[in-house]
């Protein structure tokens, strides 16, 4: 089994996690935006890779097995999707030395780390674009971009070159140019050889060239056969998941399904619909199970096990905000992430109940004041992570529906029977088992410690509180 099949991933926006350590060079002189102030589109809070390394014990205690970092290379944006140097970790994050340190500390604790690769476009400060800007048609770099006319007008609302969604700050690379292709493939290989454990690929569907992505896979897997390649594809992704391009995608269809089932009528539809999540359909248990079955049967088992299953990210509103402050529903949604096949992926701060709407509100400074934590949520994540470590079949055993009615769902994962109550009323766990647990055997709920002896082919278990889950297994 690959290390990334079923691993617990934790996504960090580096500028917003923790300040520590020396800056890289050129060193900033400030001022940084106050940590507690609402995040702004252009402000920097000064989080570093040294800071993330310092918090590895916190992450290890939470049960984290792998980190996914938003872009870390030199850039003029706090989110760093505007790359200006693919070989240089941003000095504000501590430079290359800070990444070396973070990798050493993470690996020493058994935590892997994947980087965010932005290969569709660069920032305006990237060398080739600057060269084109200064020299116009005479620049030997003119074939690096899709130029429609000279002189370039990079500060107008209507750039005369192709740019990501028309944003002049993000000129689109001409990946069909051999020199551009080779440059990007060398970058991909370089950081894997440096020690990174894989790549998350930004908008890879905007480079709709399968040959480029096949070559990308060969280079990355050639440098480290165990490297993980996950693409940011927001919909079903059969084309990309045939085994010749990506190992997995960010599983936003699963996000929508869980949010629709657990959020129900409470979910903030207006907020959701203005994000990449779109309008989320409220789902009862049977419809939810059908969505899951569709997703799990769509791909080969090794893809299902490797999918990056998430609820929220830097591109969506935060979980507690979407659920209008319902801690119970947030706990249940996170629990489901850990009880389904694939990689449960938690966006930093969701485990302590951070709130936030659209970008930039969803990218606030991590809360380190424990008095402000929603400790119930954190303990839920911690406990579910431990369960997966103690019961490895919860990573890969297939999903099998046993019972679904209204807000009540029961399914098996190997020898485990999971019962979910996604309704505001207690649920009596009395339903047909269809052979889910051995006849006559006593079962225990791994979460509450309660026991029951199924009779007459029915569970006949105790009441399950609103918005909670039980995990039954033979004693």
Asked if residue 346 lies in contact with residue 11, where contact means CB atoms within 8 angstroms, the answer is yes
Q: Kindly list the distances between the CA atom of residue 186 and the CA atoms of 216, 218, 312, 341, in Å, as whole numbers in the listed order.
A: 9, 12, 31, 33
Residues serving a catalytic function are 202, 232
Residues 6+ apart with CB under 8 A from 277: 252, 255, 256, 259, 316
Is-contact 38 5, C-beta < 8 A?
no
What angle separates helix 178-194 from helix 95-108, to the nearest 10 degrees?
50
- 3-state percent helix, strand, coil for the chain, nearest multiple of 5: 35, 20, 45
Instruction: Please tell me the distance from the alpha carbon of residue 267 to that of residue 342, in angstroms, as a whole number.
Output: 24
C-alpha–C-alpha distance, residues 245 and 436, integer Å? 37
Q: Distance between CA atoms of 475 and 388, rounded to whole angstroms?
A: 18
> CA of 246: how far to CAs of 10, 113, 145, in Å?
20, 17, 25
Contacts of 335 (CB under 8 A, 6+ apart): 380, 384, 469
Comparing C-alpha atoms, which of 118, 152, 160 is closest to residue 135? 152
Rounded distance, CA 91 to CA 24, Å? 4
- Rounded (10°) CA dihedral 291, 293, 299, 301: 140
Round the CA-based radius of gyration of the chain to a whole number and report it: 23
């Amino acid at each position: 089994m690959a290390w990334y099949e079923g691993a617990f991933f934790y996504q960090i926006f580096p500028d917003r996690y923790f300040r520590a350590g020396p800056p890289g060079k050129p060193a900033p002189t400030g001022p940084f935006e106050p940590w507690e102030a609402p995040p702004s589109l252009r402000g920097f809070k000064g989080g570093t890779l040294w800071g993330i390394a310092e918090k590895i014990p916190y992450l290890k205690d939470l049960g984290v097995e792998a980190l996914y970092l938003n872009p870390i290379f030199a850039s003029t944006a706090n989110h760093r999707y505007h790359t200006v140097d693919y070989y240089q970790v941003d000095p504000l994050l501590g430079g290359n030395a800070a990444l070396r340190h973070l990798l050493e500390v993470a690996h020493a604790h058994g935590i892997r780390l994947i980087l965010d690769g932005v290969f569709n476009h660069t920032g305006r400060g990237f060398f080739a674009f600057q060269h084109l800007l200064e020299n116009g048609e005479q620049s030997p770099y003119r074939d690096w971009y899709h130029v429609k006319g000279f002189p370039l007008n990079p500060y107008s609302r209507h750039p005369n070159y192709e740019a990501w969604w028309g944003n002049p700050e993000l000129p689109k690379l001409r990946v069909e140019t051999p020199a551009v292709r080779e440059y990007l493939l060398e970058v991909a290989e370089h950081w894997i050889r440096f020690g990174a454990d894989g790549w998350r690929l930004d908008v890879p569907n905007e480079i709709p060239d399968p040959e480029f992505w096949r070559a990308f896979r060969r280079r990355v897997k050639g440098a480290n056969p165990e490297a993980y390649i996950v693409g940011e594809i927001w919909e079903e992704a059969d084309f990309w998941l045939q085994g010749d391009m990506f190992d997995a995608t960010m599983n936003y269809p699963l996000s929508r399904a869980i949010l629709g089932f657990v959020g129900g009528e409470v979910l903030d539809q207006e907020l959701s619909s203005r994000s990449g999540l779109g309008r989320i359909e409220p789902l009862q248990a049977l419809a939810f199970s059908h969505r899951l079955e569709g997703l799990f049967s769509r791909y080969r088992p090794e893809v299902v096990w490797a999918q990056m299953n998430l609820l929220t990210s830097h591109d969506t509103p935060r979980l507690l905000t979407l659920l209008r402050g319902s801690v119970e529903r947030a706990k249940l949604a996170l629990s489901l992430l850990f009880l389904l096949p694939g990689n449960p992926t938690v966006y930093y701060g969701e485990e302590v109940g951070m709130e936030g709407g659209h970008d930039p509100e969803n990218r606030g400074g991590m809360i380190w004041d424990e008095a402000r934590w929603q400790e119930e949520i954190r303990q839920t994540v911690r406990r579910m992570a431990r369960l997966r470590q103690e019961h490895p079949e919860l990573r890969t055993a297939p999903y099998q529906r046993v019972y679904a009615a209204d807000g009540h769902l029961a399914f098996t994962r190997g020898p485990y029977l999971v019962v979910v109550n996604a309704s505001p009323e207690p649920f009596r766990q009395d339903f047909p088992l269809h052979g889910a647990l051995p006849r006559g055997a006593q079962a225990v709920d791994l979460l509450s410690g309660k026991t029951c002896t199924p009779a007459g082919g029915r569970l006949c278990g105790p009441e399950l509180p609103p918005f909670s889950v039980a995990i039954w297994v033979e004693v």
